[in-house]
A and B are shown apart, each in its own frame.
Chain A
Amino acid sequence: RGDKDSKDEL
């Protein structure tokens, strides 16, 4: 999991 990928979700 790319850090940016799912942390853009809330």
Chain B
Amino acid sequence: MNIFRLIGDMSHLLAIVLLLLKMWKTRSCAGISGKSQILFALVFATRYLDLFTAFISAYNSTMKLFFISTSLVTVYLMYFKFRATYDANHDTFRLEFLVVPVGGLAFLVNHNFSPLEILWTFSIYLESVAILPQLFMMSKTGEAETITSHYLFALGSYRALYILNWVFRYYFEGFFDLIAVVAGCVQTILYCDFFYLYITKVLKGKKLSLPA
């Protein structure tokens, strides 16, 4: 554990809490892509199966349980409790276009051809693109609520901080995981356009609206 990873994890935690608070306080999930949230639930469910096979630390297990359970709660809130506020008309990204290629790639490019390892790899690849339905939805509506942009900024920062963590671990621990690093870089790059808008608009007190 180093400082970059700790801040990265906290940023990830903050993102999830922000999203749940936004939905709970406004009793609405308007502007949030249910498809991205389904993908995140799938990411956690496939990655953290090692909860049952390996114990790393209390921190590790607690965080894994938190991520799995909150992602399921988020999907429940969107598709059941606050379904009436879900903006399905704008959430039209086709999930099979992500899940199928990512599944194929996980079979072909992995560290070890075993069920748990393939699921872990699938989860890493899927996470790198899971935000696309959300970004697609925002590009269709042309805007995002400020709280939603805070959520996305925290969520994007988490993987960017993990990159710093991997640089640190490479130099000081000799640790290097090519799959995680490449996928993490792809994931972070996808947020760059959003980061630019966030810094130039939201941090200056303006609402996030996309250039027409």
The interface of chain A, by Cβ under 8 A from chain B, is 1, 3-10
Give the interface SS of chain A, mostly helix, strand, loop or mixed. Answer: helix
Flag whether B56 is at the interface (Cβ < 8 A).
yes
Q: How many Å from the CB of A5 to the closest CB on chain B?
A: 6
**In chain B, residues 45-61, which have Cβ atoms closer than 8 Å to a Cβ of chain A?**
50, 54, 56-57, 60
Tell me whether B54 and A4 are in contact (CB under 8 A): yes
25 A-B pairs within 8 Å (CB atoms) are namely A1-B111, A1-B112, A1-B177, A1-B179, A3-B54, A4-B54, A4-B56, A5-B175, A5-B177, A6-B177, A6-B180, A7-B50, A7-B54, A7-B56, A7-B120, A8-B56, A8-B60, A9-B5, A9-B165, A9-B180, A10-B12, A10-B60, A10-B63, A10-B64, A10-B67
A9–B112 touching, CB < 8 Å: no
* Shortest Cβ distance from B120 into A: residue: A7
User: Within 8 Å CB of B57, what residues of A?
Assistant: 8
Show the binding face of B for A, using Cβ within 8 Å: 5, 9, 12, 50, 54, 56-57, 60, 63-64, 67, 111-112, 120, 162, 165, 175, 177, 179-180
Nearest 3 Cβ contacts at the A-B interface: A1-B111, A6-B177, A8-B56
Q: Which residues of B contact A6 (CB under 8 A)?
A: 175, 177, 180
B174 nearest in chain A by CB position = A5
Give the docked Cα–Cα distance between A7 and B64 (Å).
11
Contacts of A7 in B (CB 8 A): 50, 54, 56, 120
Nearest A residue (CB) for B60: A8
Residues of A within 8 A of B111 (CB): 1
